[in-house]
Structure 1
């Protein structure tokens, strides 16, 4: 199974080639130093850097801020540039880099893990990522959406119920089907609609 090496203890930008990149193909928006904004696509990413495809190309060394769907805010500098893409470093604390590594590991292992989201049900972009996971015994846990589709969700949560455990996510019934680096994958009891997921969208 794919996994990233541990991040170093330094809060500085990761050294180039410190991590293995994985293909992600995630859309977002980025802002250059002159405050111009452009739609972008993160093509390949590691916890240390990301290849961005974008109409707006920064200068070498220029500070860039990007907001990538499912991953959130990334900040760094342009390490190398091409006519339609560039490599951007990712400046992050150890904690954020570890979380990013967990998210990327989950994405890289999606098919091997057999997570509930698949090609039948397109991924959705949640605007609200804070959620609540409830167990049948009444216990409730704050969690964060990592990924969402009509058939299931992946959540970042400290307490991991056993596989097969019935749960509700913001009132939506489902069961735990997999564990991954920082949380669990949930398969909904029935395929949802965008309307039933409106609290996230």
Structure 2
């Protein structure tokens, strides 16, 4: 899966609060996607690639709107239930750090992009939905498929997976994590994530 497309898709998740659970999830996604696109287009410092500022933006805006524990558990797969509470905590921390820096590095690519949404196919009582959209460039070219999987909790809608060009983010990471766990165990996965974050922090 092209890394740039994953980063592009997730960077578009930034935006307004998910405070209103009764609102339609597709309308919520439209609202905060538009807000973040407009914010990036209006901020030359974000466009110039200020990683510190971009990381702060990602950490403060996207992460509160994601059920990150579920996302991490799904990415780790069956091994998640075998992990100790401390291992789960560390994996979540390192995975979060990795994704925040990844998304931050992609924000500069969205300044010439726009989103088009497809009609929501869901019943009012559904607690999990898929919001389907595509990313189109002002410069032309083929649109990029971008779908969001959300769940309805007690008082909010939360993202727990993302699909870019037919590949779901959780599935993509699950394969990588499973390979590392099979070779080196859960501690090996932790060490791998820590090393990736260490190397990324030097750039």
TM-score bucket of the superposed structures, by smaller chain: under 0.3
If asked which structure has higher relative contact order (CA below 8 Å, sep 6+), I would say: 2
Q: Under a length normalisation based on structure 1, what TM-score does the superposition of the two structures give?
A: 0.26
Bigger proportion of residues as strand: 1
Larger helix proportion, structure 1 or 2? 2
Structure-2-length-normalised TM-score: 0.26
